[in-house]
A and B are shown apart, each in its own frame.
Chain A
Amino acid sequence: MISTENLTFQYSPSKKFQFPDFACADRETMLILGKSGKGKTTLLHLMALLLHPTGGKIQINNKEISELSVGDAARFRAQNVGIIYQKAHFVHSLSVMDNLLLVNYLSGQKQAVEKARHFAESLGFADHLKKKTTQLSQGEQQRVSIARALMNNPSVILADEPTSNLDDDNCLKVVDLLKNQTNEIGASLVVVTHDQRLKDVFEKQIQL
């Protein structure tokens, strides 16, 4: 689970964001909607410990993370937070399978080949495990990046515009898979987007 309180972030004196408080429990899903320039990505990076808040608190699993040092934050993120980006990026030279195992490797966990296969089955890209990621379609790539976010059994899954590059068909499919998989590992899912198509599929929503 994840919750925030009086969260603020300041790039410069004139560019300052103040975010509403929210909480997202385990197995709960939440949509954060906002137009461009409202600080969606900034909020996501704060939750992902990629940025350090100027003020306020963030708690993941009841642990205050805004006070962690850079090194501790990196370790905490690697083990507790899974991130899905707008455009699926991978390590270009590695196969789909290796890109999944990379998550385990870089965070110092055991490399879970079976788990990767399992996700590939449930997300429908089991036939592509040996291929390079560039050989996959955008929809397939986004599904691989969902699997990648799940590889370390994180407590929180953060998705930044996960559907904006997908057509309607793929959009709903990907969101569905995202919700199911998150539920399966018992994590909280926070989706940040401007994609109005998602408005109807999330019960809990906040607007920036």
Chain B
Amino acid sequence: MQTNVCLNDMNLIKISWSNLKDKPLTSFLSISLMALGIGIISLLLLVSKQLDEKFTRNVKGIDMVIGAKGSPLQLILASIYQIDAPTGNIPLEEATKLTRSPLVKTAIPLSMGDNYQGYRVIGTNEKYLQHFEVEYAEGKVFSKAMEVVAGAKAAQNLELKVGDSFVSQHGYDGEGHKHDEQKFKVTGILKTNNSVVDQLILTPLESVWAVHEHHEEGEQHADSGANALKLLEEDGSHKEEHEEEPKEITSMLIKFRNPALGMMMARNINQNTTLQTATPAIEINRLFALLGVGLDTLKWIALVIIIVSGLSVFVSLYNSLKERKYEMALMLSMGATRIRLFLLLLLEGLMISIIGYAAGVLLSRLGLWVMAENVEKNFHYDFNVLSLLPEEMYLMLGALVIGLLAAALPSLGIYRINISRTLADE
């Protein structure tokens, strides 16, 4: 009974809602435009927030990257985010010498060049794993050449288990020639780390050398590589023991004791050696500045769509007010005040904004989900999309203001209606 009364009760919201339903196509158009505009902006906000988090998390604690000369951005993308080809190789010895400076707190060597079905196999040492504070879901860290630890995502998608073995391919895309002679063996699987480690397969540096020098006598060279490594880890007490072909790595991740002084060292390296250094913070800012242009353009387009949605509300209310002039005069004659009818029309604009906003936010979540499904290989997206971003609150405010403005202008016509003349006119 109670609900019956409520359903039957007339009120402004019910009348507004009926008016919207009475013109389904027009309302649908206005709502779709609003949803599209809000959806695009909201998706951009979500993506840039996720990218930002992703980039910041992976870069933490790394002050500088040393690598071959080339694009510093490329060096950072390749060495920290594992999403670009590296600039080239550098002699391990030269890099090691540099890292013996007292300014350097930690130096982590990286050697890349192989993949297993699209997942990069990275030669490094335990420090890399410690840097990301990894935990093991299964097994343990590698202890010798040709043993690997797989990141959570990589292990899951490649269906790797402890004890499995596989053959890597040259290159980064899973289509290079296979290094059939050398098999990697899985000794550990990592827990999800929410960092780049999730999509990597990590192995000691020696493995990479072994794989790539198999045409010579692999064993011996792996050994000498180990010596050079020892040099790195023990702060090098004994120098160059054998005459041999120098070992190479791809890059070195550096953590300074004092970043400010470290910058001086970076300048020195760039000027006086064949190596180059790159600072993640600077390069990422540069990257975001570049991306920002594209994001801004999209944002402007979305804003224009939202404004067009406002125009559509304006035009449809303007037209419907012309059609509904008699209706309005009728309601005025039945005791409705003009402010009440003004609110009635305002409410129609407001409802379109609110529904459009809600649909837009849903759309952006859907869009992010679809994107995440598709680019999961490169980026592991975190899903914290149920809550509204603070920026989306402003977006809501913006949508409401546009809806209100678009509705208010034509609705002012209410104040110009002459009741008697309109009713007499038919």
A residues in contact (CB < 8 Å) with B: 41, 45, 48, 50-51, 71, 74-75, 77-79, 83, 85-87, 89-94, 97-98, 101-108, 111, 113
| Residues A113 and B330 in contact in the complex (CB < 8 Å), given A41-B424, A94-B15 | no
| Residues A93 and B335 in contact in the complex (CB < 8 Å), given A51-B420, A85-B423, A102-B10 | no
A-B pairs with beta carbons under 8 A, tally: 71
Task: Kindly report which residue of chain A lies nearest to residue B420, judged by CB atoms.
Answer: A50
* The 9 A-B residue pairs with the shortest CB-CB distance in the complex, in nearest-first order: A78-B335, A93-B22, A107-B335, A93-B18, A105-B10, A50-B420, A106-B336, A106-B334, A106-B335
- For B5, B21, B327, B423, which residue has the most chain A Cβ atoms within 10 angstroms? B423
Per the 8 Å Cβ criterion, residues 1-57 of B in contact with A are 5, 8-11, 14-15, 18-19, 21-22
CA distance A108 to B337 in the complex (A): 11
The answer to whether A91 and B15 have CB atoms under 8 Å apart is: yes
The yes or no answer to B230 lying at the interface (CB within 8 A) is: no
Residues of A within 8 A of B333 (CB): 48, 50, 77, 83
The yes or no answer to B241 lying at the interface (CB within 8 A) is: no
Task: Kindly report which residue of chain B lies nearest to residue A103, judged by CB atoms.
Answer: B334
Shortest Cβ distance from A114 into chain B, in angstroms? 10
Task: Kindly report which residue of chain B lies nearest to residue A45, judged by CB atoms.
Answer: B420
The yes or no answer to B326 lying at the interface (CB within 8 A) is: yes
The answer to whether B11 and A105 have CB atoms under 8 Å apart is: yes
CA distance A89 to B426 in the complex (A): 9
CA distance A87 to B426 in the complex (A): 8
Shortest Cβ distance from A56 into chain B, in angstroms? 17
Residues of B within 8 A of A90 (CB): 327, 330
The answer to whether A79 and B424 have CB atoms under 8 Å apart is: no
| Residues A89 and B19 in contact in the complex (CB < 8 Å), given A50-B423, A74-B335, A106-B335 | no
| Residues A78 and B334 in contact in the complex (CB < 8 Å), given A45-B424, A97-B8, A111-B9 | yes
Residues of A within 8 A of B5 (CB): 113
Q: A97-B8, A102-B15, A113-B8 are in contact. List 8 more A-B contacts (CB 8 A).
A: A78-B335, A83-B333, A90-B330, A93-B19, A94-B18, A101-B10, A103-B334, A105-B10
